[in-house]
Structure 1
């Protein structure tokens, strides 16, 4: 099995300095203003949401490569943005080995996630995410927790901002039954998931504990489709992540995910079960 793996250079779970991102954002803002565009008039030209442009200029979001290429063309930046982009490799709040996947997420037309350990980041409530970061070993500082929390909440904007992107989630029932963070945090989490999954582009299924064996026993699965209809996969471990592009490997993961969909509860039954869990708290 051939797998393309993210480089292990400087792998870390710790939040990293965002100075390079702020520098890129400042350079981009200067060229945008020089060209006479506001964020609102400029955003359609690079085919990104104005809020994304704002986040990039504030140094809070890693600029996707396609954004940089379009910005260079629209702003006639003489290669300055591409040069600055080379040093914009440190996104605060995101582990270094996760960034390649996060960059592709920005453009994906479909995302499929199966999780058996915890609620996926795109569905986490703020209290639940804060609990996870607060319990991390080794311990994070308060500023590191806040940095990671901001990055996680920022990513979640994709769900509402990209109605044409299909998001599919399959999560083990026991993840909610664990009541991570206590009753109040779990109640907030379930309310948040119920709200998010009302979006037409978000499909959520629970894998019931009564299902004693299923196709996901080998671990979590993440699949992603690009606008060019290329598929990639991502597997996350304790201290590293693996980016998979091999078609044969992705085909296997597709088969497993399709089987998981048939073995999990339907979206309607999943919501009903969540509501019953919510009522039992």
Structure 2
């Protein structure tokens, strides 16, 4: 079974209406991850253009023993935005007798299926999946003698703007003994651009799937075919932006409210910030961590950061 951290309304309807009635129009990226969206994202991770998963996985394989030595024995491993639980198995295999594994993800149906599969592969492991928005979920305080390690892979930290990323890390610090964070690095724009504009169109389907979710859960009448997937890299802000752009003037009904779109008007659905190693370490310092180690691939495409709470 899955475990809620706390009782709360997901706020899906309110978030969607607030975003679509704002100027400019936006949708929170966390709502990509219904069951179909989670599966589409796993397809994205296997695409030849999508380097982050491939490079981060190689880094985890290369440095798993050193990371496990830093983590120590009997730890509880907490994964934020767990998804398909693939990368964490590299750590679980290296950790000496972990006490438990707690994956946190907003997509409950998908999380439960992945947790059940992990239990079958590792019958001795205590798996406690938590359905929650990890950005606002509160972990319980550390008990005396407990060692709890945070795992935040996939450069999901980049989906926050830098101030939000700092705030998230600061909140997490109060309930963790240490944290391992995957961070996508600044690189040639064409490499980043290709990762979010794959030739197979899987990222476009992932982006448009949020419209299908709004139709299904809020009784809206979006026509995904009347929107284009549009993603670009802004080198000044050092971030990818994903948008859905209306192909025509149109009105969409959402919860009996008419939302008007002009031809060419975008909905901003996601940002993904890229960092240098030094800039991310500065952000971690501002959040109250000591950057104890950074693991970087030879092409300097991706990085893993071991952070320990200062003091």
Relative contact order higher in (CA < 8 Å, ≥ 6 apart): 1
More helix by share: 1
- TM-score normalised according to structure 1 size: 0.30
- TM-score normalised according to structure 2 size: 0.28
More strand by share: 2
